[in-house]
Structure 1
Amino acid sequence: MTALLVAHGQPSDPGPAARALDALAAKVASHLPGREVRAATLAEPGALARAVAGPPGTVLPLFMACGWFSETHLPTRLAQAGGAAWHILPPLGCTPEVQDLTVTLAAEAAAEGATALILAAHGSGRSPMPAAVTRLVASRVSRETAIARAEAAFLEQAPRLSDIAGSFPETTVCLPWFAAEGGHVAEDLPELLAEGGFRGRILPPVGLDPRLPALIARLLARQM
């Protein structure tokens, strides 16, 4: 059976995000001998239709939250592309495995001297569901690691990164709760932190951790 990784992509410049997703799919496939792993971003014209051509398989949305995108928008886009029969798994960020990895990343940062953590996510002005996942993971960091203070903050809803960044000490790390390094991670997030007077260190996004391809492969192997 075929697996398909689907990500938002970058509408203003689809190429780089599509190539990064292709590279991730290749890494995941290296852990699944004999299985095909395809990739498509929603931002790249025609990519989804090309990816779902042929017998139906399994879709893993590389979204970091549940909600409208995974429950309404993606099924609609798949149906329009001819992939209505494909089986959609829960979004990446809603899986216990990725949440466990995030707690591990926080514990590793604590072992290197971090005492506080900001879990930075996109957020939504329309639904509470994306923020709820981020807050859940931040609360786990507080309970399960040596990080003394862990809070969720957002780009597009309260509390915004710029509102709370200055209240954290220099021994703080900001962990982007994102599946890839697009414009939000590379530009918006650092700008909001700087605006708020952030004095700590920004970690790579969760989606770039080198353990992720094998983790995704394990998720897919249970369904393929």
Structure 2
Amino acid sequence: MSFDALIVSHGQPSDPDVGEAEIAALAAAVAAHLPEARIDGVTLAAQGRIEALSANRPGALIYPMFMADGWFTQVQLPKRLAEGAGPQLVSFGLDCTLPMLAADWLRQVCTDHGLEPDKTDLVVAGHGSGKSRRVSEATRAFADRVAEGFGPQSVRCGFVEEDPSLTDALSGLGSNAICLPFFAARRGHVLEDLPEAVDASGFKGIMLDPIGLHPEVPRMIAGALRWRATTSDVSRCV
């Protein structure tokens, strides 16, 4: 079954070309797993591009490369899409298969570093928000599900825009700790706030790449798109 899909991210309003290049690369990686589909990537930051692409892809599946559902995915994105585009899938950070991918990754990290999961402290670093609890709730739900599959001795979350802060969450841990950034890309907060928090807290554990950069993510997204293209179910997460 052939189908079209658009993978949509927020992008970088100050430099739209950067975000456009990143989402195009992700779309190409997803397309490698979906020879039957036409996959494009686009950001909300690129003026007029999502409107044009969605107009030329009637019925295209919409995959939000966001960590939670909120104003951007529920208001701004639908508003920007041309008539006839959709349906829209659950956001990347809410995909029920993501915690399983993360738990597998963490177990491999422990093996590579000679750590035991049940003697390892896990910190999930997220964005948070001063306006809505949706973002931190999504982060905590992700952390809880990862912990179920990974089995650390402790799990905590830290946020850029909420308490507990990243610095507080990273403090007081030994070298048997792993920090997993709950972000889609290596930009902004991952390059600025997170390193600052590591320095301020004296964190000596293992800092992983953002979950959105895991090499298995394109395959996961491809699976979600294929599922939605062949079923009327709104979500695999039941």
Are positions 1:175 and 2:177 aligned together?
no
Aligned to 1:68: 71
Q: State the Cα distance separating 1:127 from its structure 2 match.
A: 1.2
Aligned to 2:234: none
Mean CA deviation greater in 136-145 or 151-160: 136-145
| Equivalent in 14, 29, 32 of residue 30 of structure 1 | 32
The answer as to whether partners of 2:61 and 2:85 remain within 8 angstroms in 1 is no
User: Quick one: distance in 2 between partners of 1:8 and 1:178?
Assistant: 12
User: Quick one: distance in 2 between partners of 1:180 and 1:49?
Assistant: 23
User: Quick one: distance in 1 between partners of 2:124 and 2:109?
Assistant: 13
**Offset from partner CA, 1:84-119 (integer Å, 9 cap, x none):** 542111101111111221222222233332611111
Residue correspondence of structure 1 range 202-213 to structure 2 within 5 A: 202-213=207-218
Compute the TM-score of the two structures, normalised by the length of structure 2. 0.86
| Equivalent in 55, 60, 63 of residue 57 of structure 1 | 60
Aligned to 2:110: 110
| Equivalent in 16, 20, 23 of residue 22 of structure 2 | 20
| Equivalent in 121, 130, 148 of residue 143 of structure 1 | 148
Mean CA deviation greater in 94-103 or 189-198: 189-198
| Equivalent in 24, 38, 41 of residue 39 of structure 1 | 41
Aligned partner of residue 87 in structure 1, secondary structure? coil
Rate the CA distance shift 1:105–1:43 in 2: closer, same or farther, 3 A. Answer: same
How many residue pairs match? The answer is 221
The answer as to whether partners of 2:167 and 2:200 remain within 8 angstroms in 1 is yes
The answer as to whether partners of 2:30 and 2:219 remain within 8 angstroms in 1 is yes
CA RMSD, 1 decimal: 1.7
Compute the TM-score of the two structures, normalised by the length of structure 1. 0.91
**Offset from partner CA, 1:172-221 (integer Å, 9 cap, x none):** 11111111111221222111222232222210111111111111111001
Aligned to 1:122: 127
User: Quick one: distance in 2 between partners of 1:147 and 1:107?
Assistant: 10
Aligned partner of residue 167 in structure 1, secondary structure? coil
**Offset from partner CA, 1:21-41 (integer Å, 9 cap, x none):** 101101111111131001111
| Equivalent in 11, 14, 26 of residue 13 of structure 2 | 11
Matched AA of 2:197? L
Aligned partner of residue 162 in structure 1, secondary structure? helix
Aligned to 2:202: 197
Q: State the Cα distance separating 1:140 from its structure 2 match.
A: 2.6
User: Quick one: distance in 1 between partners of 2:83 and 2:178?
Assistant: 41
Residue correspondence of structure 1 range 64-103 to structure 2 within 5 A: 64-78=67-81, 82-83=82-83, 85-103=85-103
User: Quick one: distance in 2 between partners of 1:16 and 1:85?
Assistant: 25
The answer as to whether partners of 2:31 and 2:38 remain within 8 angstroms in 1 is yes
Mean CA deviation greater in 117-126 or 66-75: 66-75
**Offset from partner CA, 1:105-160 (integer Å, 9 cap, x none):** 22223333261111111111111111112112222333332421111111111111
Q: What residue ranges of structure 1 are gaps of 5+ in the alignment?
A: none
Matched AA of 1:26? A
Matched AA of 2:94? C
Are positions 1:161 and 2:162 aligned together?
no
The answer as to whether partners of 2:30 and 2:221 remain within 8 angstroms in 1 is yes
Aligned to 2:235: none
